[in-house]
Amino acid sequence: MEQDILIRIIELLGTFAFAISGIRHAAAKHFDWFGGYICGIAVAIGGGTFRDVMLGTTPFWMTTPIYMICTAIALLTVVFFGRWMEPLKNAWFVFDTLGLALFTIAGIQKSLALGQPFWVAIIMGCITGSAGGVIRDVLLNNEPVIFHKEIYAMACVLGGTVYWALADFGLPVELTAVISFCTTCLIRFLAVRYHLSLPTLKNP
């Protein structure tokens, strides 16, 4: 029961953070309110939907309207407080990173709760964290960020690996989730701050 509650809280926080990120990108393209909501919901539920379908369970957002409501709150937050948020230089990047880390943990924990092995859980965590951003970029006609050399999905994989290692040590699930969350965020922040990236493919 405690695990289910923790997953629900993480999914709600991730939904809000990712919805803010998606709506912000829609605003940059001058979408209307409905278009912004669609982009927000695509980011917020896209990765989790892929995960749940692959795990053979009902997509999480179909069990309660709270995720739709959460995205609507994110839309209103951007509409009414966007002008105060915009001057915060890295606010949007921070929201995107927080959503990435939160959804990665939610994907790992749900996969483990359904009896999947850890290597599958890490893949599901990566899909949960990054697939929504791919859908957003496709809707906005942008090149998906995970195809760039910038570290994005790899932060999910490394954060999930830390979760696996800490769980093997027998740490409480709450502490494991917090450390994994911080690791994913730190990797993403450092990668952008110091321009760290994976090698790019060369066309011979």
Q: Give the residue among 122, 136, 149, 62 at the shortest CA–CA distance from 92.
A: 136
pLDDT of residue 20: 87
Give 150-165 pLDDT, tens digit per residue. Answer: 688 899 999 999 999 9
pLDDT of residue 36: 94
Question: In which residue are the tokens 């040590």 written?
Answer: 169
How many CA atoms lie less than 13 Å away from 167 in the CB half-sphere?
Answer: 19
pLDDT of residue 171: 92
Question: In which residue are the tokens 């369970």 written?
Answer: 57
| Cβ atoms of 139 and 131 closer than 8 Å | no
* Residue 22 CB neighbour total at 10 angstroms: 34
pTM of the model: 0.86
Low-confidence ranges of the chain (pLDDT < 50): none
**In angstroms, what CA-CA distances link 151 with 88, 100, 107, 156, 171?**
23, 12, 19, 9, 28
- For 126-164, letters b (16+ CB in 10 Å) and e give bbbbbbbbbbbbebbeeebebeeebbbbbbbbbbbbbbb
